């Protein structure tokens, strides 16, 4: 579910809103002429003019919920990767400075 304590919305044109998370643009919501909403994510693909089109939704609520879902997936993956890294580091042998000098 879209959480306003995580995201900020900035209207950048009549038909486009940028969604900010952690002080960076995370996504764009583009309102189409038929009132559907296309979710786009910033990217570097020259064919997409700097944005990756994700999906079009029938309402702005559905679009914002999808943006929140993608955010949650990314955060969960980052946390899992961090836990795995910490677990691997915990299994490394500890070498004291005196042992290293020998």
Query: What dihedral do alpha carbons 71, 76, 77, 80 form, nearest 10°?
Result: 160
| pLDDT 10s digits, 2-36 | 777 889 999 999 999 999 998 999 999 999 999 99
Is 62 among the domain residues?
Answer: yes
94 compared with 39, residue with greater pLDDT: 39
Q: Which residue segment(s) compose the domain that 97 sits in?
A: 7-101
95 compared with 14, residue with greater pLDDT: 14
pLDDT higher than threshold 80 for residue 88? no
C-alpha to C-alpha distances, 101 to 89, 95, 97, nearest whole angstrom: 22, 10, 6
Is 2 among the domain residues?
Answer: no
Q: How many domains does the chain have?
A: 1
- Quick check: 69 and 6 in contact, CB under 8 A? no
Is 54 among the domain residues?
Answer: yes
Is 48 among the domain residues?
Answer: yes
Is 1 among the domain residues?
Answer: no
φ/ψ (deg, to 5) at 86: -65, -40
Q: What is the C-alpha to C-alpha distance for residues 20 and 2, in angstroms, rounded to an integer?
A: 12
Is 15 among the domain residues?
Answer: yes
């Amino acid at each position: 579910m879209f959480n306003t304590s995580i995201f900020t919305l900035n209207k950048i044109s009549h038909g486009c809103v940028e969604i900010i998370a952690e002080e960076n643009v995370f996504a764009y919501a583009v309102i189409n002429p038929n009132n559907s909403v296309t979710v786009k994510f910033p990217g570097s693909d020259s064919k997409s003019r700097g944005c990756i089109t994700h999906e079009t939704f029938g309402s702005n609520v559905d679009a914002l919920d999808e943006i929140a879902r993608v955010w949650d997936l990314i955060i969960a993956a980052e946390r899992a990767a961090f836990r795995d890294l910490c677990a691997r580091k915990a299994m490394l042998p500890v070498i004291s400075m005196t042992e290293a000098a020998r």
